[in-house]
Amino acid sequence: MRTLVLSRSEVERIATMELAVSAVEDAFAAFGRGDATMPPKVYLPIEDHDADFRAMPARLGDCAGIKWVNVHPHNRDLHGLPTVMAVYVLNDAATAFPLAVMDGTRLTSLRTGAAGAVASKYLAQRAPKTIGFIGCGAQAYTLHGAHRVVFDGFESLAYDRNIDSAKRFAAEVGGRVVSLDQAAGSDIVCTATPSRTPFVHAHWIQPGAHVNAMGADAPGKRELSTETLERAEVYIDDVHQATASGEINVPFASGDFSLEDIAGTLGEVVAGVLPRPSLAATTVFDSTGLAIQDLSLARAIYDAARSQSIGQEIDLIGLGSRESA
């Protein structure tokens, strides 16, 4: 038995956005039905570098896996390295044999964009005429690509504090640069920033709009005002992660938002355990990123790589002599 090793370029060849959206939708449904095992995300702070590592294990069906991922905000400026890098290890659940080791950086970006699109598919009230992308870094591109899988014909409105970033994004996706309040007034709003200060205000959000709050993934981070949350039906991906490090973590800690204010999990809606929101509802999806999303997509990438004979097979754990005996 050999372990398949997949580089980033090989993952990029295999992992289409259609594959990512399908895998992430399946993961949400399994989580909503209670068919997945996912311990809480583990954080390893690196205080002297204002950074952290995160370990994200999960089990789904016949596979288990873990993602080891970092967030080092100063990497690009100081070291010429990406802010986020990841490695994924995929195991057979029955034997623990490591089926694959693959780049998890592109996987992370794809599954995050796909999660936003799946949320919009199930929580938005209608096909959008406009989608606002607030924060036009790397994640905005996968959010846009994933929404193109789910919806046709929307106009992309771009806002970023760095006007050059907004212009690059708008030029690449065929959208236009707008002000912050205009982007926030879209039919669907996707925020993807590392902000610790809320900057999206309730009076900018259209009644019946849907907001994907994608940026908050650590304690203290937030993008939406508390009033924005109070005026919406708020859906989360996981209670433990959302209250500890998601968009609701700060108002939850201060007592301004409670568990009773949560409408449900996205997985419950995707699985049909909860009904979709009413047509009049303004909705928010608080995304923290689920380990089962990574696992579901990693398994899909592994299966596709095997069928296409992509990647390098290695005797990672030293079974070669045993096999030949």
Q: Is residue 67 annotated as part of the catalytic site, yes or no?
A: yes
pLDDT band for position 208 (cuts 50, 70, 90): very high
Which residues are paired to 3 by β-bridges?
314
List CB contacts of 254: < 8 A, sequence separation 6 or more.
none
For the chain, domain boundaries: 3-42+55-70+86-107+291-324, 122-286
Catalytic member of 67, 121, 167, 221: 67
The answer, yes or no, to whether residue 189 has pLDDT greater than 80, is: yes
Mean pLDDT on 40-55: 94
List CB contacts of 203: < 8 A, sequence separation 6 or more.
none
Which residues are paired to 143 by β-bridges?
none
Tokens matching residue 289: 């990123």
Percent of the chain residues topping a pLDDT of 90: 94
d(CA 87, CA 77) in angstroms, rounded, equals 22
Q: Provide the pairing of β-strand 262-265 with 42-46.
A: unpaired
Q: Do the beta carbons of residue 273 and residue 73 sit within 8 Å?
A: no
The dihedrals phi and psi of 156, each to the nearest 5 degrees, come to -95, 120
Task: Give the sign of the dihedral formed by CA 166, CA 172, CA 178, CA 182.
Answer: negative
Kindly state the DSSP code that residue 41 receives in the 8-state scheme: P
Question: Nearest 10 degrees: CA dihedral of 192, 197, 203, 208?
Answer: 40
The answer, yes or no, to whether residue 324 has pLDDT greater than 80, is: no
Q: Do the beta carbons of residue 111 and residue 15 sit within 8 Å?
A: no
The answer, yes or no, to whether residue 313 has pLDDT greater than 50, is: yes
The answer, yes or no, to whether residue 325 has pLDDT greater than 90, is: no
Q: Which CATH class is domain 122-286?
A: alpha beta
What global pTM score does this model have? Answer: 0.93
The answer, yes or no, to whether residue 2 has pLDDT greater than 90, is: yes
Mean pLDDT on 206-213: 98
Mean pLDDT on 6-13: 97
User: Residue 205's pLDDT is what?
Assistant: 98
Mean pLDDT on 105-129: 96
The answer, yes or no, to whether residue 206 has pLDDT greater than 80, is: yes
User: Residue 218's pLDDT is what?
Assistant: 85
User: Residue 322's pLDDT is what?
Assistant: 56
- Under CATH, which architecture does the 3-42+55-70+86-107+291-324 domain have? 2-Layer Sandwich (3.30)
The answer, yes or no, to whether residue 18 has pLDDT greater than 80, is: yes
Q: What is the pLDDT of residues 49-90, one digit of tens each?
A: 999 999 999 999 999 999 999 999 999 999 999 999 999 999
User: Residue 321's pLDDT is what?
Assistant: 55
User: Residue 260's pLDDT is what?
Assistant: 97
User: Residue 41's pLDDT is what?
Assistant: 87
Percent of the chain residues topping a pLDDT of 70: 98
